Structure 1
């Protein structure tokens, strides 16, 4: 069934951008296939939320910006996310341009590739082609198809076998200006027994009718360990769509740490596929809903390997007239013997007009497993408020302390101090 859409770009604009960036022919073919699929596919069906009135395709995708020569020359908004004086490995994208990138020379000597996606397509095209869109298919629904058509940057991170990276690698994505789009594709490949941490932040400057559309694909090799942390602090003028997915081999470990601090409407899906025996996944996420924003946030783990383990913790604070849907899905497939999946969704309500839904789901197709879930939606404990006020703290201060304490187990896990501080500042801002 064809879907009628009136786009603000066409195949000619996509082809022109692709050729200007010297992309390989196979990538342009993928772009055009995505554009065709976008006209045929429906939007994803989300639990208890419709997004057909949201801005999913009304943007100008290829707005460019000038490069800078050093981290000190970046915008003040971006510099707030980093330590400009000491950062060694960093990629910064504004709209459709990579405006800055650097990689520690020591990592290069170990065979590590950390570069923007456009450069990777030119210099490591065969390696990118081997992995791109094999975990997140381009034609899963309209949003993934549109992403494939107009992807305008991103990151390629490759860590060879037995290489361990101690310092986090960082990226910042900024969307700014009317009708602007930031659409990065992040591709992370960690070979056997390697270790790496990748951290990114999403920010927005002045502008209206902006969109952020991102896909993250992670490949965790046997015995490898990958940590991905992401903090998104986009304004009410930005619709944000993110789809993250990882596949984990034998004895591999995948950890997600996610701070959804947007002020605007948000769709996020985070899925880990535990393919190998003894593979492990941990997902920790927090969100704060304010104003009239709508959020649909899904964390999912599929167990295929025997003795695989997963933990998911999702926490949300709701105020004003915001709506948040927290979905936790643990799926244990037939044959995943001795698997163990645990999840918890907790929502703290601060307003009678807000809505928070916690939806824990267990789908079990194997007998010899362990699985459990917990969910809660509630208000402040008056006993806790009274206890703090009895120590001379005002009610407002007591409420803030309880909120921050509720969320801090996730905040404290952010591996970059500047990003952790920005997340705490975003919490302070959103909570008023």
Structure 2
């Protein structure tokens, strides 16, 4: 069944952008297939959140800007995310342009490929094709189809077998300008017994009616270790949709550290597929809801391999009239013997008008497993407030200390100091 769709771009605009970036024919075919699917598929059905009136498709996808020669020429909102004195292993994208890119000789000597997606498509097309779209399909729903059609940048990160990266790589994605779109596709491949840390930030400049629609695909080889940290601090003028998914082989380890600090409406789905025996997944998410924003945040782990283990922790602070839906889903498939899946969702309410829903879900099709969940929604402990006030701390300062203490165990896990500090600044800003 076809659905109503009135896009502000067409096949001709997609083809022109693709050819300008010298993309291979197979990639253009995926784009055009996404465009066709966008006219046929429905929006994703989300728990307790309707997004049919959100901005999902009214954007101009291929707005470009000139490259800069140094990080000092980047927008101030981007400079706050990076180390200005050491800009190695950094990619900065604004709307549909890679403004800055630098990678170290050390990574090149190790055989690591860290490149803008457009560059990787030209120089490593067959390798990209092997993995692109394999865990997040373009035809899952309208948003993935729109992403496939209008993807306007991203990252390709490939780590060869037995290579352990000693420094993280970083990407900053900025959306700015009226009707702008940032739609990066991040593709991370960690071969057997390799190790990699990837960090990105999403920020916004001035503009209205902006959209971010991003996908992250991660392939964790046997015995490999991957850590992905992401901080999103987009303004109320941006509707943000992110879909992250990883597949983990035998003895592999996947860790997600996510800071959802947007001021606007947000949909995020983070899924890890534990395919191999003794594979593991760790997911830590914090979010702050303010004003009248709406958030739907889902963390999910699918256990397929035996002796696989997962742990998901989601923490949210709600103020104003904000609404946040936290979904935790642990799925243990038949045959995943000795699997162990744990999850916890905790919501701290600071306003009577705010709403926070914590929804832990266990779906278990195997008997010989362990699984557990915990969820809480509540206000401050007055005993804790009174204890701090008895030490000469004002009530406002006491509340702030409790909030930061509630969230900081996740903040402290961010592996790049500048991003960690920026996340703390975003917390301070959102909490007033």
- Can you give the 5+ residue segments of structure 2 that lack an aligned partner in the other structure? none
1:71–1:85 CA contact under 8 A, matched in 2: no
**CA drift at 1:86:** 1.3
Determine the structure 2 residue equivalent to 1:53.
53
Within 2, Cα distance between the matches of 1:254 and 1:77?
Answer: 29
Within 2, Cα distance between the matches of 1:213 and 1:426?
Answer: 21
Within 1, Cα distance between the matches of 2:87 and 2:190?
Answer: 22
Determine the structure 1 residue equivalent to 2:205.
205
Within 2, Cα distance between the matches of 1:57 and 1:115?
Answer: 28
Determine the structure 2 residue equivalent to 1:246.
246
TM-score by length of 2: 1.00
Determine the structure 2 residue equivalent to 1:147.
147
1:72–1:85 CA contact under 8 A, matched in 2: no
Determine the structure 2 residue equivalent to 1:9.
9
Deviations 1:154-180 (A, max 9, x none): 000000000001111000000000000
Determine the structure 1 residue equivalent to 2:313.
313
Kindly report which structure 2 residues correspond to 1:409-420, keeping only aligned pairs within 5 A, or say none: 409-420=409-420
Determine the structure 2 residue equivalent to 1:178.
178
Within 1, Cα distance between the matches of 2:422 and 2:255?
Answer: 20
Matched residue of 2:206: which SS? coil
Determine the structure 2 residue equivalent to 1:234.
234
**CA drift at 1:87:** 2.8
Matched residue of 2:410: which SS? helix
Kindly report which structure 2 residues correspond to 1:183-332, keeping only aligned pairs within 5 A, or say none: 183-332=183-332
Determine the structure 2 residue equivalent to 1:99.
99
Deviations 1:90-112 (A, max 9, x none): 00000000001011111101110
Paired residues in the alignment total 432
**CA drift at 1:72:** 2.4
Within 1, Cα distance between the matches of 2:367 and 2:405?
Answer: 38
**CA drift at 1:350:** 0.4
Within 2, Cα distance between the matches of 1:235 and 1:196?
Answer: 30
Pick which of 66-75 and 262-271 moved more: 66-75
The answer to whether structure 1 residue 371 and structure 2 residue 371 are counterparts is yes
Matched residue of 1:327: which SS? strand
Matched residue of 2:231: which SS? strand
Matched residue of 2:196: which SS? strand
Kindly report which structure 2 residues correspond to 1:111-150, keeping only aligned pairs within 5 A, or say none: 111-150=111-150
Within 1, Cα distance between the matches of 2:74 and 2:32?
Answer: 33
Matched residue of 2:351: which SS? coil
**CA drift at 1:137:** 0.6
Within 2, Cα distance between the matches of 1:288 and 1:118?
Answer: 34
Within 2, Cα distance between the matches of 1:338 and 1:214?
Answer: 34
Determine the structure 2 residue equivalent to 1:67.
67
**CA drift at 1:76:** 1.5
Within 1, Cα distance between the matches of 2:379 and 2:415?
Answer: 30
**CA drift at 1:73:** 2.1
Within 2, Cα distance between the matches of 1:159 and 1:20?
Answer: 28
Within 2, Cα distance between the matches of 1:76 and 1:373?
Answer: 42
The answer to whether structure 1 residue 27 and structure 2 residue 41 are counterparts is no
Within 2, Cα distance between the matches of 1:271 and 1:281?
Answer: 10
Within 2, Cα distance between the matches of 1:350 and 1:179?
Answer: 33
Deviations 1:167-203 (A, max 9, x none): 1100000000000000000000000000000000000
Within 1, Cα distance between the matches of 2:167 and 2:294?
Answer: 35
TM-score by length of 1: 1.00
**CA drift at 1:32:** 0.3
Matched residue of 1:343: which SS? strand
The answer to whether structure 1 residue 389 and structure 2 residue 389 are counterparts is yes
Matched residue of 2:232: which SS? strand
Within 1, Cα distance between the matches of 2:96 and 2:279?
Answer: 36
Deviations 1:113-165 (A, max 9, x none): 00000000000000000000000011000000000000000000000000001
Determine the structure 1 residue equivalent to 2:362.
362
**CA drift at 1:74:** 1.6
Matched residue of 1:278: which SS? coil
Q: After the TM superposition, which segments of 4 or more aligned residues of structure 1 sit over 2 Å from their partners?
A: none
